[in-house]
């Protein structure tokens, strides 16, 4: 984190989250997926990884 106080630049180390719940606090997954659906415009939301390779083929 960077702050300025009386013409001085103060750098503070960012604290790492203790768990996933803390990491994603404030994340709105409903809004995220709504935006993804808008951007996909009828296309699949899953990525196309191409043809299977190796032992993926049964």
The residue written with tokens 């299977």 in the block is: 52
Q: Please give the Cα distance from 26 to 56 (Å, whole number).
A: 37
Question: Which pLDDT value is given to residue 55?
Answer: 79
* Whether pLDDT at 23 is above 80: yes
How does residue 58 score in pLDDT terms, banded at 50, 70 and 90? Answer: low
Digit-coded pLDDT (tens) for 32-55 = 999 988 988 888 888 888 887 777
Please report, for residues 5, 27, 40, the alpha-carbon distance to residue 20 in angstroms, rounded to integers and kept in the order given.
33, 11, 27
Q: What is the pTM of this model?
A: 0.48
Q: Please give the Cα distance from 30 to 47 (Å, whole number).
A: 20
Each domain of the chain, given as residue ranges in start order, spans 13-42
**Spatial contact of 1 and 14, defined as CB atoms under 8 Å apart:** yes
pLDDT higher for 58 or 6? 6
Report CA Rg, the chain: 21
């Amino acid at each position: 984190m960077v702050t300025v106080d009386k013409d001085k630049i103060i750098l503070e180390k960012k604290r790492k989250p203790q768990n996933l719940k803390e990491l994603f606090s404030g994340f709105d997954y409903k809004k995220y997926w709504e935006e993804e659906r808008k951007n996909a415009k009828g296309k699949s939301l899953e990525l196309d990884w191409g043809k299977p390779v190796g032992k993926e083929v049964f």
